[in-house]
Amino acid sequence: MHTLPQPPGTEDYKRIPFQFTEELSSKNVFVRLPECFTPLERMILQASGNLQRLISAYYNVPSHVDIIKNNVIPTSPLALNGTCQQQQICMQYDRKARICFDKKLAYEADSILYVKDQNVLDLIEKHKYGLGQIFGHTRRSPDFMLLAVGRHGTQPGSSFWRDYSLRIPDVLDCFIRETFVEGLFDEESRSSGQLPNLKNTSDSTNGHHQQQGTIWYNQPIEQ
């Protein structure tokens, strides 16, 4: 399985194996998560395709997506372990986006995309769509799988993240990391309608994280 590299600066973090639900489906809608996350954080960590709507509803402001990076990665079908074999189209992208609410940063999303459909390719290249917009345009619900969750530091409300995959067979495979700002659900932020500024977040780009933290990684359930 293709995954993102570990977050910078987390080499000394505590790592705990955890059995997340393998996949969400119409019959299986529960994702078990570590107890150390708050109820609101757990809602965010298991959101599938509706994350921006949830945070927009919480703060009662619209979302805005800034595409920071959208690079094509040179590759070949044989280099993808069969992911794109026998597909007419296969483009790989390295993307980074910032998602803001009322001009305040809420989270950053790093992703690797494998595109196998010309319509989706046009949405990325010509229209610069974000992932939420792409899935909305295709009118197909992707398969969601949670791969890991983590927390920078040990204090309540500190920055946290999740790694997960979204897949639409023969159309698009995505491997995504979303890193949420410190104090995302502070009462002060909610009552004022203002999210924390960028200076209050962990700098995931430069790896300036605290030395303490925890990563829970998916340990598949034995059949």
Where are the chain's structural domains?
14-194+212-218
Give 79-109 pLDDT, tens digit per residue: 444 455 444 568 899 999 999 998 889 999 9
What is the SS3 assignment for 136?
helix
pLDDT greater than 60 at residue 51: yes
pLDDT greater than 50 at residue 151: yes
Q: What does pLDDT average to over the chain?
A: 80
Contact predicate 165/176, CB 8 Å: yes
Q: What is the pTM of this model?
A: 0.80
Q: How far apart are alpha carbons 93 and 108 in whole angstroms?
A: 16
More confident residue, 162 or 77: 162
Looking at residue 211, its pLDDT comes to 75
Query: Residue 194: pLDDT band by 50, 70, 90 thresholds?
Result: low
Give the residue from 201, 211, 96 showing the smallest Cα distance to 157. 201
Residues in Cβ contact with 183 at an 8 Å cutoff, skipping those fewer than 6 apart? 157, 189, 196, 200
* Token duo for residue 54: 């949830």
Query: Residue 206: pLDDT band by 50, 70, 90 thresholds?
Result: very low
Q: How far apart are alpha carbons 96 and 130 in whole angstroms?
A: 10
Fold (topology level) of 14-194+212-218: Chorismate lyase (3.40.1410)
pLDDT greater than 90 at residue 214: yes
CA 139 from chain center: how many Å? Answer: 20
HSE, side-chain direction, 13 A CA sphere, residue 172: 29
Amino acid of residue 186: D
Give 7-44 pLDDT, tens digit per residue: 989 999 999 999 886 655 556 667 789 989 999 999 99
H or E, element range at 74:
none
